């Protein structure tokens, strides 16, 4: 497969940002976000013969609708002002890096994405490699876009890199869907005057930044000589149902009348993957250490957990990081098929349930976040703790992004250079199956992808 850049320009908002909005203060939740870029790829077919849209028309629609959308999402067209710790976005309308490419020497898009090594090639569809240390070190631009057109089949991949300091996955989904709505109106009605509500920016007032800094050094990408490996594992709905069935023994003991909810597919799968990590680590370290501590962190969207709830259009980082800890002693039997999986599920669920209205009030009024982040870092650095981080994109409406030629047939991420990271994404628009992107050291990945229980569940 060959990807050649054929065109590049800067897309600016269609209307200048008002003077009173030129400085977009970051919330302290934004300040705590990792200094990385979030990659997103949306895949579209070329359409059927009776309803095909010319490729040039598609690209023009994408560009024209983008400048309209940036008027509402104006921080995306600005630059982060880098000090010792980032404090605000200069909404100077500098614009967004935008380029178009031609993809050649390949099969149909629908066939290419099924190839075993395709995950290693998807970075070609992005405006830059989000694992590029030099790019993330400056971390000033907020959004970059690349539109990739398949020469033979007319398929298209829209690739985005979004600065995590300004937006989380929910914010990106809101932006992409508003962008798609404006584009769809241009295709269907010939008008760019589509009514989109746009984002709201209340997070900056609800979680005002720490004027004297957070007191916590935000880590950058680790410059490790060993390059971690990312693999994608697919779980069908029937296999997720099997995992949920294994959780029933403690589900049935809970009082449903008190608002208890059965284990979700994300909880069941995340806990299962945590167990796989523990199993392979136990095989390596059980004889060497008297005890081993396992830490699972999880990014929780707090919009719906606040009182009152905030809309999904609330823009910024509105995420709390929870932690579940599980300790194994040498005299405790462990391994495949041992009964501690439900215990992991319970710990994972309890960690998520802690993020309630009272918890969020403490986030706003105390140093709870700083204390938690410091504690988590201490766990990781003590040498006896194995840390794994989970993030779920499931149920975010990425598959609803119809630019006027149909919804995406697939949504993906790309490999990253941070190890012990797990990202869950809906496998298709039905929202039934889940694809998991796992990033590990090369040695650990070899053991992980041969885990007996994992092999029995993946598609």
What are the catalytic residues?
A: 164, 402
* Whole-number Å distance between alpha carbons of 347 and 323: 9
* Whole-number Å distance between alpha carbons of 382 and 163: 30
Q: Which two tokens stand for residue 238?
A: 């029937």
User: For residue 218, with 0-12 CB atoms within 10 Å meaning exposed, 13-18 middle and 19 or more buried, which class applies?
Assistant: middle
Nearest to 59 by CA among 148, 177, 152: 148
CB 91 within 8 A of CB 6: no
Nearest to 63 by CA among 17, 100, 115: 100
* Whole-number Å distance between alpha carbons of 166 and 70: 14
CB 401 within 8 A of CB 407: yes
How many other CB atoms sit within 10 Å of the CB of residue 229? 19
Phi, psi for residue 20 in degrees, rounded to 5? -75, -5
* Whole-number Å distance between alpha carbons of 164 and 316: 9
Beta bridge partners of 200: 314
Q: What angle do CA 232, 249, 264 make, to 5 degrees?
A: 40
Spatial strand order in the sheet of 291-301:
229-235, 434-440, 421-426, 385-392, 291-301, 319-329
The alpha carbons of the chain give a radius of gyration, in whole angstroms, of 22
Residue that has been written with the tokens 């359409």 in this structure: 47
Q: Where are the beta strands (DSSP E) in 45-170?
A: 79-81, 88-90, 96-104, 143-150, 156-163
Q: What angle do CA 220, 173, 129 make, to 5 degrees?
A: 40
């Amino acid at each position: 497969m060959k990807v050649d850049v054929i065109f590049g320009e800067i897309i600016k908002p269609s209307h200048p940002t008002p003077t009173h909005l030129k400085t977009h203060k970051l919330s302290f939740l934004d300040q705590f976000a990792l200094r990385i870029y979030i990659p997103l790829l949306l895949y579209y077919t070329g359409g059927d013969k009776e309803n095909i849209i010319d490729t040039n028309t598609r690209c023009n629609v994408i560009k024209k609708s983008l400048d309209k959308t940036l008027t509402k999402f104006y921080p995306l067209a600005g630059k982060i002002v880098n000090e010792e710790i980032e404090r605000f976005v200069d909404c100077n309308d500098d614009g967004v890096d935008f380029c178009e490419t031609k993809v050649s020497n390949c099969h149909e898009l629908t066939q290419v994405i099924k190839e075993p090594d395709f995950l290693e090639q998807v970075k070609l569809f992005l405006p830059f490699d989000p694992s590029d240390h030099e790019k993330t070190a400056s971390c000033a631009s907020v959004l970059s876009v690349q539109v990739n057109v398949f020469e033979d089949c007319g398929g298209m991949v829209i690739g985005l890199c979004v600065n995590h300091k300004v937006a989380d996955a929910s914010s990106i989904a809101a932006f992409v869907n508003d962008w798609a709505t404006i584009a769809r109106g241009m295709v269907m009605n010939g008008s760019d005057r589509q009514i989109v509500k746009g984002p709201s920016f209340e997070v900056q007032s609800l979680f005002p930044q720490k004027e004297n800094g957070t007191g916590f050094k935000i880590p950058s990408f680790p410059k490790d000589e060993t390059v971690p490996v990312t693999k994608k594992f697919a779980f069908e709905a029937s296999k997720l149902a099997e995992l949920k069935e294994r959780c029933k023994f403690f589900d049935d003991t809970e009082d449903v009348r008190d608002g208890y909810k059965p284990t979700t597919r994300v909880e069941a799968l995340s806990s299962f993957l945590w167990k796989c990590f523990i199993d392979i680590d136990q095989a390596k370290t059980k004889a060497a250490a008297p005890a081993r501590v396992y830490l699972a962190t999880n990014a929780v969207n707090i919009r719906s957990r606040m009182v009152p709830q905030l809309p999904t259009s609330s823009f910024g980082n509105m995420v709390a990081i929870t932690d579940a800890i599980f300790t194994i002693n040498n005299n405790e039997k462990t391994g495949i098929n041992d009964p501690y999986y439900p215990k992991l599920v319970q710990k994972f669920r309890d960690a998520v349930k802690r993020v309630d209205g009272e918890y969020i009030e403490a986030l706003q009024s105390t140093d709870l976040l700083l204390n938690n982040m410091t504690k988590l870092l201490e766990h990781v650095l003590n040498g006896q703790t194995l840390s794994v981080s989970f993030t779920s994109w499931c149920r975010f409406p990425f598959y609803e992004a119809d630019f006027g030629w149909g919804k995406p047939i697939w949504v993906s991420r790309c490999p990253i250079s941070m190890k012990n990271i797990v990202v869950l994404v809906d496998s298709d628009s039905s929202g039934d199956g889940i694809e998991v992107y796992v990033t590990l050291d090369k040695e650990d990945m070899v053991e992980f992808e041969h885990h007996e229980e994992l092999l029995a569940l993946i598609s």
